[in-house]
């Protein structure tokens, strides 16, 4: 018998379903694995709001308190000098140059003494002591779980001469205030009523000139605190801060304005370190910190002081400082109080710290959009010098995972992670808030932690079913193919 020309064709047609079903099964298994895995969500683009949530726990407010005792001798008016001033004014009264009214005479005497104070006033005992205090507020961020913090040098260690001048101004204010009270009492006792404004202004100028000439500023002591965003009713921000040591400090601008602090702690939240050399002009960046205008706004509650501010912009340019090192220019909003705060890239990695802005020399006002960032490559030099190795905190890792689960509405999974953080680091910022939100969502029936389990079960059952059907079909086809083969031979 001649070969049947249909036989090869029939065999091809009978076996064609096998690769098709195998391909379908492979695709179904791949879908199963994708549904049961959480890795796919990790590839989602990080939203700015998420970046802020991840960054703010490790962004700290840095407060530096500078204190010094200022000593000044007591200004004294000897009787013979007071008599000389009185006789001079009396002569003018007799000549009709000054009215014979008590207020006019008193004003004339004071003007004579204050305008010519070097001729009348002498230094005397006792020495008056005034305590001067200045508080500088800036921002910073944690780089290690055991409490190393990066900030600006000018926040925690401005120049000593500058500090003394500022402390002297504060002391002057206190001393002049006391002198104004004495003037008011004198005028009330001799004439009645408050002293005239021109005499008050003249006394202010004279007192400032006297104290500036003779005052001495003692040794300046510095106390630094780092405060994370923890809200405790009735407790001030400074009390919540952790006293910190200034471990290493650079020179304020135009120097490398970087300082390394050490706060006591363990399992503190940290921020990942980025590479500023990979950034190009036009790349998106974000600034996190505590600008004074928003942090201490008189219309805002004290509790809002622990909430950092998040601004955005781009790298506007790379510039060189006079010392030959590179700095980044940005149009992101930055002002007083932002100094030392982390500047992050679109992946949430720190690429520098906000440092200074630009001032219009004609008005003294800040120029918006002309701000500068010390790059991470410069900061790394200070970390290396102090042998500080940036490290990711386990609580920061768990916190990021908890936020991810929360966004998927897997509140029970988020709760488990948050409770784990709370066990490791009970004082971790924002964890209690997230626990409350997750618990509320679970109570309201919004938890969807069951969804991936159910999907895995459904897809798994479907895979088993298809595999079972496929085996039966293949077995049947195997038998039918044998029969057909015997018939067509």
Give the pLDDT score at 429.
73
CA 59 to chain centre: 5
Residue 444 has pLDDT above 50, yes or no: yes
227 in Cβ contact with 240 (< 8 Å): yes
Q: Quick one: average pLDDT of 464-470?
A: 56
- Domain boundaries defined on the chain: 7-36+450-488, 53-62+227-385, 63-142+157-221, 393-443
Would you say 73 and 128 are in contact if contact means Cβ atoms under 8 Å apart?
yes
Residue 12's pLDDT is 40
Quote the pTM value: 0.75
356 falls in which pLDDT band (50, 70, 90)?
confident
What band does 184 get if pLDDT is binned at 50, 70 and 90?
very high
Check residue 463 and give its pLDDT.
56
CATH topology assigned to domain 53-62+227-385:
Thrombin, subunit H (2.40.10)
What is the percent of the chain where pLDDT is above 70? 79
> Average pLDDT, stretch 343-352?
96
87's tokens: 């006789």
Strand partners, 142: 149
How does pLDDT run across 318-328, given as a tens digit for each residue?
A: 999 988 899 99
Cβ contact 372:329 at 8 Å: yes
β-sheet bridge partners, residue 354: 373
Distance from C-alpha of 432 to C-alpha of 418, rounded to nearest angstrom = 8
pLDDT for the residue numbered 175? 92
Please write the tens of the pLDDT for every residue from 359-395: 777 777 778 778 999 999 999 999 999 999 999 999 9
Helices (H), 277-349: 292-295
- Of 92, 109, 86, nearest in space to 186 by CA: 109
Query: φ, ψ for residue 392 (rounded to 5)?
Result: -80, 135
Angle (CA) 466-471-476 rounded to 5° is: 125
Which position has the higher pLDDT, 429 or 205?
A: 205
Mean pLDDT of 81-89: 94
Mean pLDDT for the chain overall: 84
**Rounded average pLDDT over 149-161:** 93
Share of the chain above pLDDT 90, in %: 63
CA distance 472 to 466: 10
CA nearest 256: which of 342, 151, 335?
Answer: 151
Output the CA–CA distances (angstroms, integers) from residue 325 to 60, 256, 261, 316, 378, in the order listed. 27, 8, 23, 17, 8
Residue 487 pLDDT level (bands cut at 50, 70, 90): very low
Phi, psi for 126 (deg, rounded to 5): -85, 160
Omega of the bond leading into 292 within 30 degrees of 0 (cis): no
pLDDT at 306 over 70: yes
Closest of 302, 305, 283 to residue 294, by C-alpha: 305
Does residue 304 carry a pLDDT above 70? no
Average pLDDT over residues 11-35: 48
């Amino acid at each position: 018998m001649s070969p049947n020309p249909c036989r090869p064709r029939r065999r091809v047609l009978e076996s064609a379903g096998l690769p098709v079903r195998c391909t379908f099964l492979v695709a179904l298994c791949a879908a199963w694995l994708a549904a049961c895995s959480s890795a796919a969500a990790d590839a989602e683009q990080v939203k700015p709001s998420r970046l802020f949530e991840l960054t703010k726990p490790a962004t700290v407010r840095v407060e530096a308190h500078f204190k010094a005792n200022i000593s000044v001798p007591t200004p004294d008016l000897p009787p013979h000098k007071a008599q000389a001033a009185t006789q001079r004014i009396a002569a003018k009264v007799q000549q009709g140059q000054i009215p014979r009214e008590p207020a006019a005479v008193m004003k004339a005497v004071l003007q004579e003494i204050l305008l010519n104070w070097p001729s009348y006033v002498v230094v005397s005992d006792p020495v008056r002591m005034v305590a001067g205090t200045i508080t500088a507020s800036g921002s910073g961020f944690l780089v290690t779980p055991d409490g190393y913090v990066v900030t600006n040098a000018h926040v925690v260690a401005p120049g000593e001469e500058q500090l003394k001048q500022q402390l002297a101004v504060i002391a002057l204010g206190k001393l002049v205030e006391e002198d104004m009270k004495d003037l008011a009492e004198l005028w009330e006792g001799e004439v009645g009523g408050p002293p005239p404004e021109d005499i008050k202004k003249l006394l202010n100028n004279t007192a400032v000139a006297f104290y500036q000439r003779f005052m001495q500023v003692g040794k300046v002591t510095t106390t630094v605190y780092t405060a994370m965003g923890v809200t405790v009713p009735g407790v001030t921000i400074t009390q919540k801060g952790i006293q910190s040591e200034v471990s290493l400090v650079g020179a304020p601008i135009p120097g490398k304005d970087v300082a390394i602090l050490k706060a006591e702690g363990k399992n503190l939240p940290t921020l990942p370190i980025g590479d500023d050399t990979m950034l190009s002009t036009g790349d998106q960046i974000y600034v996190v910190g505590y600008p004074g205008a928003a942090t201490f706004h008189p219309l805002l509650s004290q509790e809002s002081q622990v909430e950092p501010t998040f601004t955005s912009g781009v790298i506007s340019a790379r510039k060189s400082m006079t010392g030959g090192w590179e700095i980044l220019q940005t149009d992101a909003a930055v002002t007083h109080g932002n100094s030392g705060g982390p500047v992050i890239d679109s992946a949430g990695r720190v690429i520098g710290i906000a440092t200074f802005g630009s001032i219009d020399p004609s008005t003294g006002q800040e120029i918006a959009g002309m701000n500068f960032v010390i790059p991470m490559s410069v900061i790394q030099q200070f970390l290396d010098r102090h042998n500080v190795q940036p490290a990711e905190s386990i609580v920061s890792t768990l916190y990021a995972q908890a936020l991810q689960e929360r966004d998927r509405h897997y509140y029970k999974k988020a709760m488990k992670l948050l409770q784990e953080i709370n066990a490791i680091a009970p004082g971790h910022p924002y964890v209690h808030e997230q626990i409350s939100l997750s618990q509320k969502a679970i109570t309201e029936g919004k938890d969807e932690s069951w969804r991936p389990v159910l999907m895995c079960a459904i897809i798994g059952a479907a895979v088993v079913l298809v595999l079972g059907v496929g085996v039966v079909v293949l077995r049947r086809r195997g038998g039918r193919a044998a029969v057909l083969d015997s018939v067509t031979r």
